Amino acid sequence: MLIKLSSFDLSLAAILVLLLGVLSAYMKLGITRQLYIAAARTTVQLLLIGLVLKTLFSSTSIGFIVVIAFIMISVAGWEILSRQQRKLKGWWGFGISTGSLFVSSFIVTLLCLVIIIQADPWYSPQYAIPLLGMLLGNTMTGIALGMDRLIQNAWQQRPVIEQRLMLGQTADESIADIRREAMRAGMIPIINSMAAAGLVSLPGMMTGQILAGAAPVEAVKYQILIMFMITSGTGLGVISVLWLISKRLFDERERLCFKRLLKENKIVQN
């Protein structure tokens, strides 16, 4: 049976975060404020989503589920942009981040619901929302890392790229190795997670199901499914976003042009 947690139990865990903030302030790490804000956001956001899911699970309205999914993807896309050291310009950055999440997380979740799990109905909120949430949470990390690595390396290696263009290489050829390195950076977290699963760590979904009383073997099956979904979704998302950014870095005459992609103030400061 599931052991229920009280508010007092959660407050005991919160004390550990408070102590960590005090320690970071003593060490002058400069992360105390961000740590407390993140902890507060976690508490508020999870409590709110708990209330939303309670209402959602009692309803099978596909319209309501689509709205929730759209909000989740939009927020994830915004979070990807906020993690970039060099900010992307206008709605273009938001469009490619959310678009890559849709191509990866949403479509992979849809295929899983319809073909693999075969939930009845396929948009059953008990399956659709948790699966989409797990994919978005992991996929956006890989996409954010890949985007940041590509833009940073391309900015630092501007002379190299321009020399390659002058020597006759196409825009795609001149940035190919930088794009491969960015792809590798975006995929490393999920590859490490798969390699360590079961030996070093027990993944979250599997642990949650076991704590809820599910049979360990069934929990393992679902966790394997989720890991494969996350890996394929991350790969698709990183590939799509890096391809789009690589195209956007060059103009119609295949000249390197960061002004098409980055905000002016970030370019001036560097």
Domain limits, the chain: 1-58, 62-269
Window from 135-144, 145-154, 187-196, 201-210 with minimum mean pLDDT:
201-210
Q: What is the pLDDT of residue 270?
A: 37
Contacts of 227 (CB under 8 A, 6+ apart): 193, 194, 197, 203
What is the pLDDT confidence band of residue 268, given thresholds at 50, 70 and 90? Answer: very low
pLDDT of residue 260: 66
Over range 183-194, report the average pLDDT.
89
pLDDT at 266 over 60: no
pLDDT for the residue 1: 59
Mean pLDDT, residues 11-15: 91
Model pLDDT, residue 267: 41
pLDDT over 90 percentage in the chain: 18
More confident residue, 121 or 179: 179
Q: What is the mean pLDDT of the chain?
A: 84
Structure tokens at 98: 């959310």
Question: Confidence class of residue 44 from pLDDT cuts 50, 70 and 90?
Answer: very high
Average pLDDT over residues 219-238: 88
pTM of the model: 0.76
Of the candidate ranges 13-22, 35-44, 62-71, the one whose mean pLDDT is the lowest: 62-71
CA 91 – CA 66 distance, rounded (Å): 22
Kindly state the average pLDDT of the residues 34-40: 92
- As a whole number, mean pLDDT of residues 57-73 equals 82
Q: Taking 70 as the threshold, does the pLDDT of residue 221 lie above it?
A: yes
Please tell me which residue, 56 or 101, carries the higher pLDDT value: 101
pLDDT at 97: 86
